Amino acid sequence: MAVKREIQASVKDQKLVEMRRGQMIRGAVSLFKQKGFHRTTTREIAKAAGFSIGTLYEYIRTKEDVLFLVCDSIYERVQNRLSSIDLETGSLQDLKLGIAHYFRIVDEMQDEVLVMYQEVKSLSNEARSYVLKKELEMVGMFDQLIRRCAENGELSLTRDHQKMLAHTIFVQGQMWGFRRWALQKTYTIDEYIRLQTDLLFPESSSKGLAEIGG
Amino acid sequence: MAVKREIQASVKDQKLVEMRRGQMIRGAVSLFKQKGFHRTTTREIAKAAGFSIGTLYEYIRTKEDVLFLVCDSIYERVQNRLSSIDLETGSLQDLKLGIAHYFRIVDEMQDEVLVMYQEVKSLSNEARSYVLKKELEMVGMFDQLIRRCAENGELSLTRDHQKMLAHTIFVQGQMWGFRRWALQKTYTIDEYIRLQTDLLFPESSSKGLAEIGG
Amino acid sequence: MAVKREIQASVKDQKLVEMRRGQMIRGAVSLFKQKGFHRTTTREIAKAAGFSIGTLYEYIRTKEDVLFLVCDSIYERVQNRLSSIDLETGSLQDLKLGIAHYFRIVDEMQDEVLVMYQEVKSLSNEARSYVLKKELEMVGMFDQLIRRCAENGELSLTRDHQKMLAHTIFVQGQMWGFRRWALQKTYTIDEYIRLQTDLLFPESSSKGLAEIGG
Amino acid sequence: MAVKREIQASVKDQKLVEMRRGQMIRGAVSLFKQKGFHRTTTREIAKAAGFSIGTLYEYIRTKEDVLFLVCDSIYERVQNRLSSIDLETGSLQDLKLGIAHYFRIVDEMQDEVLVMYQEVKSLSNEARSYVLKKELEMVGMFDQLIRRCAENGELSLTRDHQKMLAHTIFVQGQMWGFRRWALQKTYTIDEYIRLQTDLLFPESSSKGLAEIGG
DNA sequence: AATGAATGAGTGTTCATTCAT
DNA sequence: CATGAATGAACACTCATTCAT
């Protein structure tokens, strides 16, 4: 588990810091969504957060801090929602449910996921690695689910294949968000889930990939 | 086929325009790679291209033009290299070769692909759709290859599954670039190709996904 | 009466805005005087006003705003000083006093009047009409004075002649400023007033124009 | 008579220089009319003149040279047209005809006069004095006409009054151009001539100013 | 004599950040 | 703790002028 990366605040009252940063993040996400990190000014963030530019700087040190806070909070929320998945039982059925659950979270938090997806690269190296570490934790969740399936014989994959599959699943979730311009014109989230699941596990519908829908 | 989108130049000599823009693109790609589009200044671009800021603006009208030129040129080059694939014969073997070929192109043009991947969103709507249209053409290539396999019975997929697969393959290529921080530590491009191909077409090695490497 | 045309400021404290704009206008007039609007840079204006370029832009939005503020303030001041004229009594004597008063104001505010005179054309259409409306109000003052003289029989002029005379008087005032290179070498303001008054109202010295000084 | 002020040209062929400068002036006047001297670029001038920027600079040395050429040519043309006035006969009737003639020239060359009027200030001191000297020559013409009237008893004015009147007439001509926004909405040039003449010489219609139109 | 590509100083404007109140 | 006025480095872009061809 990654160590908490602290953003310095001048204000001491931790409850207040938490609250102000909440406002800040909500405002910033909505702005980044519209215009991206670089085109959003700190003044706009302060205004959207409901306080002055001076106050903003009482709770962060640089503009980049806002971006970090935003990315961090988004991962936190995704991870939170993902945590309802039971990693222990681990049948193929559970894996599929996990995937469906994850895809639906991405669908619901589309804007946030997109923002994070497009802006992490603007973080400093340190902040970026911190955030990406969280991403790997999520990939790890899928890896574990897949592993269980391998262990109970429902999937027969090498460790390398398992890990790659976990990565692929994770990216396919994000893909629903970052390729929405192409995908969401054609499919609903439910169709997307069904199609991708079919492609990932053709045999599980007792058909090979060669026979899906055949 | 998309209509050519022309960027206006003050200089009339077309050969010269071509050449200068070549220099400009090479310089810009290398800068965008390091610092992204927004953090790169027009002066830096001019310098990297080997001429003055005044000259830069003889060949473009706005900074965004540079980004468009860069994205356009990258797609052009990827597409060019992809064009060696024979879309007509269409056995499963050809599809796999096509995928491997595409993944290798992405590997070689990694920096460019990453740049384009991260910066398209900064283009104006018009320029972005133009570029994305090119992307869909590439997806279309895979779709056609897959369709052939379906037609000759090597793959049995509905049209929806076929299209989704085409998208997935395309994204998995890019994924090698944009998730290099995670993937390239662990795998070589050849391993990546093998693993992803295995996962995409498990039955083709006469094994279901459930048995790969088993 | 023209509606107030507001120039937007980022700074909220109205008293401060007033003060800073005062500094700005004083600095700008002196610069425009020397080098004209186009050859004066915003940085020079800021410096002359006594603050930084950043601060300048807290009180205006574009360079043109400065020009408008300058023109507006000059008219305001001229009009203010003119307002001491009593428009109601209206003997020929009052008209002449009014003219003399106006000519003296132009003399004292020579630089300002010249600046405004030469630079209004650089204003946007909207701003220009706003400023010119004020000019017409001043012309209107002379028109009213003349009208009174016509009503009490001291001048016998058609309405058209009255209006033209008002315009002419107004221009003759400005003329003292914009033709200073020719006039002020030869005449003092008092001589100018006397000569022009004689030419405008020859009969009033109980001589026709044909006999002035004869 | 002022000494000719020469603008240096690299090209030797005087006939060619004359011709090219003619093209240049025609193009420039039309541009200055629309956007003023400062907002017009040398490239635009070259284009409007029908040749390249390189060629433009074969016939002038700086952008200001173009402005000088333009102002000079306009004065030249006005003076040329004015030269048809007979300065010798000199009755009051001739003076009035001269005024009418001058006002009509201004009316016809309105755009040119306005351009010159608004842009002389952008000339260097040297060039400006040269041009203004020409203006004084024109004022001198009116002065001479007026003097004749004084000599033959039709006007009885001191020398000072005479000179002032000459200036005033000259400015009233320009006024028709530079105050067109106010005057030309209300009057035709013929009305303007009549009204101003009436105001200038009230007695000549055997009425004092006090009785015009009465 | 004519061209037009190249130059770079200079322009208006923005915006992250600070700090006195 | 909160405010918002002040700052100035930095930016995209322009344009008069030069000079090799």
| Model confidence pLDDT, tens digit, residues A186-211 | 999 999 999 999 999 986 554 444 44
Which of D168, D171, D209 shows the shortest C-beta gap to C203?
D209
**Three-state SS at D195:** helix
| Binding partners of D (≥3 Cβ pairs within 8 A) | C
Q: Provide the terminal-to-terminal Cα distance of chain D, rounded to the nearest Å.
A: 45
Q: What percent of chain D has pLDDT over 70?
A: 93
Q: What percent of chain A has pLDDT over 90?
A: 85
Alpha-carbon distances, residue D33 vs B72, C129, C195, D73, D155 (angstroms): 42, 18, 35, 15, 39
Chain D residues in contact with C209 (beta carbon < 8 A): 155-157, 200-203, 209
Q: Do D172 and C167 touch (CB under 8 A)?
A: no
Q: Do A168 and B172 touch (CB under 8 A)?
A: yes
Stretch D28-56: mean pLDDT, rounded? 97
> For residue A92, how many C-alpha atoms fall within 13 Å in the half-sphere facing its CB?
17
Give phi and psi for C62, each to the nearest 5.
-140, 165
- Rounded to whole angstroms, the Cα distance separating A49 from A37 reads 15
**Would you tell me which residues 165-204 of chain A have a C-beta closer than 8 angstroms to some C-beta of chain B?**
165, 167-168, 171-172, 175, 179, 181-183, 186-187, 191-192, 195-196, 198-204
DSSP C8: P
| Model confidence pLDDT, tens digit, residues C138-193 | 999 999 999 999 999 999 999 999 999 999 999 999 999 999 999 999 999 999 99
- Rounded to whole angstroms, the Cα distance separating D143 from D157 reads 12
Give the residue among A135, B22, D38 at the shortest CA–CA distance from C67: D38
pLDDT band at C4 (very low <50, low <70, confident <90, very high): confident
| Model confidence pLDDT, tens digit, residues B72-119 | 999 999 999 999 888 887 799 999 999 999 999 999 999 999 998 899
Q: Which residue, counting CA atoms, is nearest to the C1' of nucleotide F11?
A: B41
| Model confidence pLDDT, tens digit, residues B29-88 | 999 999 999 999 999 999 999 999 999 999 999 999 999 999 999 999 999 999 988 888
Which nucleotide minimizes the distance between its C1' and the CA of D63? F16
* Other CB atoms within 10 Å distance of the CB of residue C18: 11
Q: Do D136 and C182 touch (CB under 8 A)?
A: yes
Say if CB D53 and CB D43 are below 8 A apart.
yes
pLDDT of the residue at D212: 52
Stretch D47-61: mean pLDDT, rounded? 98
The pTM is what?
Answer: 0.91
Q: Which residues contact C153 (CB under 8 A, 6 or more apart)?
A: none
- Per the prediction, chain B carries an average pLDDT of 91
| Model confidence pLDDT, tens digit, residues A29-67 | 999 999 999 999 999 999 999 999 999 999 999 999 999
Spell out the alpha helix ranges (H) of chain B.
14-39, 42-49, 53-59, 63-82, 92-108, 110-119, 125-151, 159-178, 180-183, 189-200
Which of D160, D165, D167 shows the shortest C-beta gap to C179?
D167
Which of B157, B181, B210 shows the shortest C-beta gap to A154?
B210
**Would you tell me which residues 134-153 of chain D have a C-beta closer than 8 angstroms to some C-beta of chain C?**
135-136, 139
pLDDT of the residue at A4: 67
- Per the prediction, chain A carries an average pLDDT of 91
Chain C residues in contact with D199 (beta carbon < 8 A): 161, 164-165, 168, 200
pLDDT of the residue at B89: 79
Closest-approach residue (CA) in chain A for B161 = A195
- Rounded to whole angstroms, the Cα distance separating B91 from B85 reads 12
Stretch D24-39: mean pLDDT, rounded? 96
- Do you know the residue count of chain A? 214
Q: Which residues contact C207 (CB under 8 A, 6 or more apart)?
A: C214, D156
Q: Which residue, counting CA atoms, is nearest to the C1' of nucleotide F5?
A: C11
Q: Does C125 touch chain D (CB under 8 A)?
A: no
| Model confidence pLDDT, tens digit, residues D61-117 | 999 999 999 999 999 999 999 998 888 877 999 999 999 999 999 999 999 999 988
Q: Does A154 touch chain B (CB under 8 A)?
A: yes
Stretch C102-107: mean pLDDT, rounded? 97
Chain C residues in contact with D161 (beta carbon < 8 A): 195, 198-199, 212-213
Stretch D5-9: mean pLDDT, rounded? 89
